[in-house]
Structure 1
Amino acid sequence: MIAATELGIPFFNGAEGFAQCWPDISRHLDEMFDSGKFSHGRKVAEWERALAEYTGARHVVAVNSGTDALVLLLRACGIRPGDEVIVPAFSFVATASSVVLAGGTPVFADIDPVSHTLDPRAAEAAVTPRTRALMPVHLFSRPADLTSLGAVARRHGLTLVEDSAEGIGMRWDGVHAGLLGSGGVLSFSPAKTLGALGDAGAVLTDDPEIAAQVSTLRHHGRIGQTVDNIAGISNLSGVSGTNSKMDDLQAAVLLGKLPQLDAAIARRAELARAYTERLRGVEGVLRLPAVVERDVPADPVCCAYVIEADRRDALVGHLTAQGIGTEVYYPTPLHLQPCFAGLGNRLGDFAHAEAAAERTVALPCYPDLSTAAVDRVCDAIRRFYAANAS
């Protein structure tokens, strides 16, 4: 494991976990090479079946990234030019850019200050006659309040789409993230809870029509394709698709790592508890990840351990000088990003999102990390605030 005695503590390192999974990964890779099919082939189909079994989804469509999964899902749900999709103002840029790429218009709403997820009251206030969909994000470690957001969607006749890119293993009242509405997505970028060797993603849905549409869109609008016969181009649908097929190499890696996923989730939870125990009461640390009380049981998964901290940027500089990696999610809220300036939002529009952008920082939290490394990170944080006490 990454120990506190080493020169530095990287923000993410998955080398040890990858080595442990290598026998399974190697077997899947050998089968891939023996098949001679390296894209949209048998390993991808096998991965779709395995992921469906793990999540309980009736349909899984593997694609080449979490971003493309969002775009294709929104298109499959019928988003068209002029349609508005309500999204949180605090999230990764793909949450909003996927709406634009699907042809719609993102409409921002503020977040709940504790969970950092879409505030149902703010979302409802943002509904207009042009609103077509509501897209909450399951962020960092907690699912959004899908009970309240689902009620908002039903009251206004909206499609509920989940940006569950970080949601592998998260469940809401026993239902896996991405399956509470029309569909959801998963991202398998390398630092995610379940990471591939590069970009990879998937759409989850219980709706066969949405699954069929996403499957068509991911392969240039082709229909009736199988893993054994995908070379022809005569069977095109009436929609223009794109090239968003998953590579079999990524599917092989994910198949090899899937058996260790629950253990990896449990280890992340252990590390999160260790951070919380050691940082509770530290002056300058404004908020630690909290268990948000819900009306239904919600299973969190610590994709990232994110705190809110006073003098965040100075703290990041101090930790960097100590050889400790961090990540700021996200330094600029979506409504203030230059690419969305044309939507007319201004500083002060979404107070909770803006506060989170100024104060949040993610600490190292991954299965290869040792508890001793957590001690070192927490000691460095204590020293920073002790030295800067007013």
Structure 2
Amino acid sequence: MTAEVSALTVPFFTQSATFSGLWPITRRHIVEVIQNGKYSHGRKVLELERALAAYTGAAHVVGVNSGTDALVLLLRACGLRPGDEVVVPAFSFIASASSVVLAGGEPVFADIEPDGYGLDPASVAAVAGPRARFVMPVHLFHHLADLTGLAEVARGLDLTVVEDSAEAIGMRHNGAHAGLLGAGGVLSFFPTKTLGALGDAGAVITNDPVIAETVGALRHHGRFGRTIDNFPGISTGTGAVGVNSKMDDVQAAVLLAKLDRLEADIRRRAVLARRYADGLAGVPGVRKLPSVLPRRASVRGVFYVYVVEVDRRDELAAHLAGRGIGTETYYPTPLHLQPCFARLGHRPGDFPHAEAASRRTLALPLYPDLPLGDVDRVCAAIRSFYLGERA
């Protein structure tokens, strides 16, 4: 890479400027961890759980070591039994389906709505069979799934709603935070998330005290207390063996430092998204820009990432990379066509909206540190690809 291109690089994600500004408060939290002398499942994790409860309005927040573990433990705490089926979208990150398998269940795929990328309630109703006990809407990119329509289907089929709200911190429906509209939900604090740590971390959020108590035990080898040998089993009567999924206090310290500026970061992300919308409006080849669906005026979206649908997606990504601009492809192979789920017997064409999204979606750089001028550069490079303009 030439020095000229290197100087113009727009990374897909970085938070170096964020941490430069937050270092004093981050250091204070980390010093407290060191002084407390407990580096996992300690006071700082408890402080974060309480702060997240205040932010989300959840009655209970249980910190764990990843968003994936949060899904697994939430499903187990909700009573998933071996062989129970969970309806999940065919277009999502692999953890939305692998968590079901890891919890002992079986994923059943359904198609998505073409606009908001959430589970299509009609498709859920079509695929849910007699063994289906759960439906897992995933809130992708910047928008909540159709929780009203999915709740109606779930009631009719006697399904428990468990939300994969890993990307959805700050998103709300009629004032209720994502993850609190069913039995419970999860948060992921992977570094690129809207509220990101310096490594893996996650949480379960719920208003159900039994679910919270069960997750709290499962994350710590089945212990209800903090003693070495207190393994009384799970109060729900499952007798389940727990795992080691405790959150590190250093990650909790980082998240506490960043939580104070979360709303400012969300507003900044919205400014960047509007800049993209203005810069890409009317560009041939850009099929779809993200927007809040009109029928969901009660939804507050948050731009975790800025995902567009484009023609010749992979060629465009290569074009941008050649100009020092990072992108990510969400998700190039839909879940029902992943090799690890080949045993379910799906074929191309089974879920056309999910497959179309997998061919066309491309995520552009979007994070609070991103200058507006870099957004303009990305837009100019995209116009140069489709219109032959010089970028």
Q: Shared topology, TM-score over 0.5?
A: yes
Question: 8 Å contact 1:24–1:257 — kept in the other structure?
Answer: no
Measure how far apart 1:253 and its partner are: 0.4
| Residues 40-98 of structure 1: per-residue CA shift (max 9 Å, x gap) | 00000110000000000000000000000000000011111121000000000000000
Q: Secondary structure at the match of 1:116?
A: coil
Equivalent pairs counted in the alignment come to: 380
* Aligned twin of 1:19: 20
1:296-351 CA distances to partner (integer Å, 9 max, x unpaired)? Answer: 51000000000000000000000000000000000000000000001111111000
SS in 2 for 1:203: strand
Query: How many Å separate the matches in 2 of 1:313 and 1:232?
Result: 52
Match of 1:235 in 2: 231
Give the 3-state SS of the residue equivalent to 2:97 in structure 1.
helix
Where does the alignment leave 5 or more consecutive residues of structure 1 unmatched? none
Measure how far apart 1:241 and its partner are: 0.6
Aligned letter for 1:162? Answer: E
1: CA distance between counterparts of 2:182 and 2:109? 20
Q: Which letter does structure 2 place at the counterpart of 1:45?
A: L
SS in 1 for 2:261: helix
Hey, what's the Cα distance between the residues in 1 that align with 2:24 and 2:146?
39
2:84–2:131 CA contact under 8 A, matched in 1: yes
Alignment partner of 1:154 is 2:150: no
For residues 38-53 of structure 1, the aligned pairs below 5 Å read 38-53=39-54
- TM-superposed CA distance for 1:140, in Å, is 0.2
Report the 3-state secondary structure (helix = DSSP H, G, I; strand = E; otherwise coil) of the residue aligned with 2:349: coil
1:374 aligns with 2:371: no
Deviation at 1:125, TM superposition (A): 1.0
Tell me, what secondary structure is at the counterpart of 2:108? strand
Larger mean Cα displacement after TM superposition, 23-32 or 140-149: 23-32
Aligned residue number for residue 341 of structure 2: 340
Query: How far 1:234 moved relative to its partner?
Result: 3.7
Which piece of structure 1 moves more, 59-68 or 114-123?
114-123
Q: In the alignment, residue 283 of structure 1 is paired with which amino acid?
A: P
Please list every run of at least 4 consecutive aligned residues from structure 1 whose deviation after the TM superposition is greater than 2 angstroms: 4-7
Give the C-alpha shift of residue 7 in structure 1: 2.4
Aligned to 1:129: 130
SS in structure 2 at match of 1:308: strand
Looking at structure 1, the residues matched to 157 and 40 of structure 2 have their Cα atoms a distance apart, in angstroms, of 41
Spell out, residue by residue over 1:97-141, the C-alpha distance to the aligned partner (whole angstroms, 9 max, x if none).
000000000000000001111111111111111100000000000
Does the CA-based 8 Å contact 1:172-1:296 persist in structure 2? no
Which residue of 1 is the match for residue 75 of structure 2?
74
The 2-side partners of 1:350 and 1:126 are apart by 11
Give distance in 2, aligned partners of 1:232 and 1:376: 56
Alignment of 1:349-360 (within 5 A): 349-360=350-361
Distance 1:210 1:305, change over 3 A: same
CA-to-partner distance for each residue in 1:13-41, whole Å, 9 max, x for gaps?
A: 11111121212111111111100000000
Q: Structure 1 counterpart of 2:221, which letter?
A: H
Residue 347 of structure 1: SS of its match in structure 2? coil
**Cα deviation digits, residues 185-208 of structure 1 (max 9, x gap):** 000000000000100000000000
RMSD of the TM alignment (CA)? 1.2
Paired AA for residue 229 in structure 2 = I
- What whole-Å deviation, never above 9, does each CA across 1:235-277 have from its counterpart, x for those lacking one? 3413201000000000000011100000000000000010011
Q: Which has the larger displacement, 287-296 or 138-147?
A: 287-296
Cα distance in 2 between the residues matched to 1:295 and 1:286:
22
Partner of 1:182: 183
Match of 1:143 in 2: 144
Is the contact between residue 89 and residue 108 of structure 1 (CA under 8 Å) also seen in structure 2? yes
How much does 1:5 deviate? 9.8
CA distance in 2, matches of 1:137, 1:53: 23
Q: 1:21, 1:260 within 8 Å by CA — same for their partners in 2?
A: no
Inter-partner Cα distance in structure 1 for 2:288 and 2:348: 23
> Helix, strand or coil: the match of 1:294?
helix
Residue matched to 2:267: 266
Aligned to 2:216: 215
For residue 260 of structure 2, give the secondary structure of its aligned residue in structure 1.
helix
Superposition deviation, residue 295 in structure 1: 4.8
Q: Which amino acid aligns with 2:14?
A: N
Q: 1:90 corresponds to which residue?
A: 91
Q: Return the letter of the residue paired with 2:83.
A: G
TM superposition shift of 1:231:
4.1
State the secondary structure of the residue aligned to 1:57: coil
Letter paired with 1:28: H
Change (3 A) 1:164 1:8: same
Alignment of 1:293-372 (within 5 A): 293-295=294-296, 297-372=298-373
Q: In structure 2, how many angstroms separate the alpha carbons of the residues matched to 1:82 and 1:100?
A: 9
Contact 2:6–2:324 under 8 Å retained in 1: no
Deviations 1:146-186 (A, max 9, x none): 11111111111110000000010000110000000000000
- Is 2:290 the partner of 1:289? yes
